[in-house]
């Protein structure tokens, strides 16, 4: 069920990210809603389902951007595999770990994305991009992770209750 839900949710998130959130852009950074949804989903979900979310989210984002399709996926894949590994090491992922995941995850996601862009022949100003785009995006993601995580948890709880009933 989570796989089916991913399509509309991530489509809407990607559309929002390329339209509404641009209005609250800080320097070159804006909240990465798709990334936050995938991360939030992966914390309390199976790895396979999270991978589906990462692929769908990444493809949606890339279809709306000038980047080659799939460029946004590797960063998210690394993150969700990391989260999956972390989930086996700790009892539960609390707020501090969540903040750490957002911090590191955003950085990894942005660096890998820029690397892919660079590999496809486009010019990337690394230092300027990191300071002008990545840092504000990290700030926004830290701000938005709580409501996004709360939203994802509600959906996951709803799905769990439905599964138990059936």
Partner 1 sequence: MLRNWRANRIVFFFVCMFLCGGLIIISAAGTIAPVEGVLATPLNFLSGIFNDISQTVNSAITDLSEIQELRQRNAELEEALAQFQAELVGLREINSDYQRLSDLLEYTTSVQNQEFVTADVINFDQSSLLRTIVINRGARDGIARGMPVVTRQGLVGRIVEVSASASRVLLINDPSSYVSARLQTSRAEGSVEGQLTGNLRMIDIPLNADVREGDLVLTSGLGGNFPADIVIGQVTSTRQFEFELNQEAEVRSLINFDTLEFVLVVTSFQPVDISVFENEDAQNP
- Residues touching partner 1, count (CB under 8 A): 31
Q: Is 18 a binder of partner 1 (CB under 8 A)?
A: yes
Rounded-to-5 percentages of helix, strand, coil across the chain: 80, 0, 20
Closest CA to 41 of 91, 98, 89, 96: 98
Strands in 13-136 per DSSP E: none
- Judged by DSSP in three states, 92 sits in coil
By rule CB under 8 A, what string of x and - marks binding of each residue 49-88 to partner 1? --x---x--xxx-xxx---xxxx-xx--x---x--xx---
Q: What's the angle, vertex CA 105, arms to CA 100 and CA 111, rounded to 5?
A: 135
Minimum CB separation of residue 120 from partner 1 in Å reads 5
Kindly tell me which of 24 and 95 has the beta carbon lying closer to partner 1: 24
CB 55 within 8 A of CB 41: no
At residue 106's C-alpha, the angle toward residues 77 and 98, to 5°, is 90
- Interaction residues for partner 1, span 89-148 (CB under 8 A): 116, 120
**Interface with partner 1 by CB under 8 A: which range of 16-24, 27-35, 124-132, 148-156?**
16-24
Residues of this chain that bind partner 1 (CB under 8 A): 11-12, 14-16, 18-20, 22-23, 47, 51, 55, 58-60, 62-64, 68-71, 73-74, 77, 81, 84-85, 116, 120
């Amino acid at each position: 069920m989570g796989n089916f839900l991913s399509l509309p949710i991530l489509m809407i998130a990607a559309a929002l990210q390329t339209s509404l959130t641009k209005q609250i852009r800080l320097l070159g950074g804006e909240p990465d809603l798709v990334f936050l949804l995938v991360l939030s989903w992966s914390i309390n979900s199976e790895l396979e389902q999270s991978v589906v979310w990462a692929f769908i989210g990444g493809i949606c984002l890339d279809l709306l951007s000038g980047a080659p399709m799939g460029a946004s996926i590797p960063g998210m894949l690394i993150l969700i595999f990391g989260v999956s590994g972390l989930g086996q090491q700790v009892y539960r992922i609390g707020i501090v770990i969540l903040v750490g995941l957002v911090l590191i995850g955003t950085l990894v996601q942005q660096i890998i994305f820029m690397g892919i862009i660079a590999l496809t022949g486009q010019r990337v100003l690394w230092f300027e991009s990191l300071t002008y785009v990545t840092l504000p995006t990290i700030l926004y993601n830290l701000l938005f992770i709580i409501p996004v995580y709360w939203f994802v948890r509600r959906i996951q709880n709803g799905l769990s209750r439905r599964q138990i009933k059936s």
